[in-house]
Each structure stands twice: as structure tokens, then as C-alpha cells.
Amino acid sequence: MKVSELMTRNVQSCTPETNLSTAAMQMWDGDFGTLPVLDGDGKVVGMITDRDICIAAATRHQDIATINVGEVINGQVQSCTPDMSISDTLKVLEKAQVRRLPVVDKDQKLQGILSINDIVHYTGDVKKSSGVSHADVVNSLKSI
């Protein structure tokens, strides 16, 4: 099973110049907790989470509309590619201790996003055989 078969395409994103208020509204409106951060060329330069926004709001003591996403992200992006196996992707999730990975092409341009939930839903379907067991997913979740 390859990432391309499970990933979500047409993912919303933001830029380093997007303010945290706008990013938070995107997350609220889309009912998701993370956004890939893209540079002007569409390359993934980071991920911003709802937790990142909350911590910035609590520690910076300023209006989140005045704080840019680029000030909050750490710039160390863990990602996967569409042709990676789900087993290899689980290892990346475990090592990075994250629940979602941007899916990028060879130029680091965003192709989609893959979450641990996507993998859980797939492995829960007994009619499909992926080579990834529930035990594999549980072990990944334990390390996150």
C-alpha cells in the first residue's frame, strides 16, 4: 500500500506571512488541527498546529493577528512522498512523533497530507489487505 492511495489531496495551506488569527480561522472552518506552510514556490517549509497557535497566544501576550506563522514554526519538516509504503511512513510518524505528514514531490511541493487516522481507517477495513496491521498502528501511536 502506497501513501498516494490513502492521502488527502487538495489540502488547505498557509504561508509564513499568514497571521495566526487567519490560520486559526482556516483550521476552525475546515475542522482540522494543522496546516502545511508553503513558500512562494509551493514548497513545504513547515507545519503549524492549533497547539502552536495556543502556545503563542499564551506566551507572547499579544494579539495573534500580529504574529505571523513564520515566527512560530520551527522549519524542520518531516514529510513523506506519494510512492512511500505505509509501513515506511509509520516509521517516519513514530520518529518525528507527529500524527500528520505533508506529502511532497521530489521538489518538496505539497501533494497532500497523510494522517495516522487515514491509516487507522484503512487498516480497520477487513476487506482490504495493506500489509499494515492494527498492531503496527498502535505501536506508532504509543511512540507519538
Q: What is the pLDDT of residues 41-98, one digit of tens each?
A: 999 999 999 999 999 999 999 999 999 999 999 878 999 999 999 999 999 999 999 9
The residue range of the domain holding 123 is 3-143
CATH of the domain at 27: 3.10.580.10
Strand, helix or coil for residue 7: coil
φ/ψ (deg, to 5) at 61 = 50, 45
- Pick the residue with more confidence: 119 or 141? 119
Mean pLDDT of the chain: 90
Domains of the chain: total? 1
Q: Which amino acid is at 2?
A: K
Q: Which residue has the higher pLDDT, 123 or 126?
A: 123
CA distance 91 to 41: 28
Reported as a pLDDT band with limits 50, 70 and 90, residue 121 is confident
